[in-house]
Amino acid sequence: MEIIRVHNLVKKYDGLTAVDHISFSVKRGEIFGFLGPNGAGKTTTINILSTLLQPTEGEVYVNGFNVITQKNKVRKSIGLVFQDPSLDDRLTAEENLYFHARLYHVPHDEYQKRKEEVLRLVELWDRRKDLVKTFSGGMKRRLEIARGLIHHPAILFLDEPTLGLDPQTRSHLWSYILKLKEEKQMTIFMTTHYMNEAEYCDRLIIIDYGKIVAFDTPTNLKKAVGGDIIIMESPEPQKLKSELKQKYSLEAKEENGGITIEISNGKTFLPRLFDELETKVTSVSLREPTLDDVFLHLTGRKIRDEEASPLDRLRQHHFRRHR
């Protein structure tokens, strides 16, 4: 059962193609992820799916409605947590929710019930009468999520929901999101930079320069890398490389002074390697592939190379807000 269907979507800004002929569909009730570096086209896609932006080409259906000709019906079906803060910080938490509920025509007694429900969910019930100005970044983020939920949308869009949050708040937030999915059978469409967050998704798209480079479950994507990863250090890296090639026909990669190989069953391979290897090795580590490796594998680049650290982004964020 498809709840979002995107066919050959293109978005051009003047000369730049931000989204380049992408097609995919999202199933009802799943957590669907968009993973990619800065400027990949994630926010642009969300803006088109949520009617904020006109596509240049292509067809998009959300909850069965066309995003160009049935805007209002699409808008009624969705909740959105924007990448950039969008609360009114001169209003209280409650007033922000009330305003939202009125725009979405939530009946008044329904609103009273849901207000308590969502505020308790994000643990802001006690702070409901406080001005948003006095909230921390994490509290604001949680309030935005509560706000996105109060009209019971069929689909919740989360554009980097945990941006600028500390790891603890981040994992907390994730437990809310997973709970929501369970309890409300809500479809969640999210974007992220964080590889470990992409792992929460049922299915995920890796997007780069506006193009889909991969589309599968996180587990399958990791399988595509070619199994486990063994990293070795040696005083004679060239010798090690050629020995690996000769004995096991393994293409080893040299990276930051380490020699890396991908092997399908690392745990059983390691003991054998120790027995047979002649070249001196000073350290060995074994790990399972991560989505970082998937991205590297697919694009030849590391996702983090071209982006600011989360802390920098948070700073920028504050700068933008308080300018």
Partner 1 sequence: MEFRRTVEAAAAIWQREFIRYWRDKTRIISTIIQPLMFLIIFGTGLRSTLARGNFGLDFVQFMFPGIIAMSIMNVSFFSTISTVWNREFGFLKEILVAPISRISITLGKIFGAVTIASIQGFLLLILAPLLKIKLHPLNFPYLLLFMILVAFSLASLGLLIASLMKTTESFGLMMQLLIFPMFFISGAFFPLTSVPWWMRLLAAINPLSYGVDALRQILLRYQTSGEALKSVSLHPLAVNALFLLIFSTIIVMMGAIAFNKKN
Ligand X SMILES: Nc1ncnc2c1ncn2[C@@H]1O[C@H](COP(=O)(O)OP(=O)(O)OP(=O)(O)O)[C@@H](O)[C@H]1O
CA distance 148 to 81: 6
Among 24, 61, 65, 82, the residue binding partner 1 under the rule CB under 8 A is 82
Query: At closest approach, how far in Å is the CB of 166 from Mg ion?
Result: 20
Q: According to the binding rule CB under 6 A, does residue 274 interact with ligand X?
A: no
Query: With CB under 6 A, what is the number of residues at the site for ligand X?
Result: 13
Q: According to the binding rule CB under 6 A, does residue 56 interact with ligand X?
A: no
Decide which of partner 1, ligand X, Mg ion, none touches 41; Cβ closer than 5 to 8 Å per partner kind.
ligand X
Footprint on residues 70-89 left by ligand X (CB under 6 A) = 83
- Interface region with partner 1, contact rule CB under 8 A, candidates 69-77, 203-211, 260-268, 307-315: 69-77
- Interface region with ligand X, contact rule CB under 6 A, candidates 32-40, 100-108, 223-231, 275-283: 32-40
Among 3, 43, 241, 291, the residue binding ligand X under the rule CB under 6 A is 43
- Residues forming the site for partner 1 (CB under 8 A): 50-52, 72-73, 75-76, 78, 80, 82, 84-88, 90-91, 95, 99-100, 102-105, 321
- Residues forming the site for Mg ion (CB under 5 A): 42-43, 83
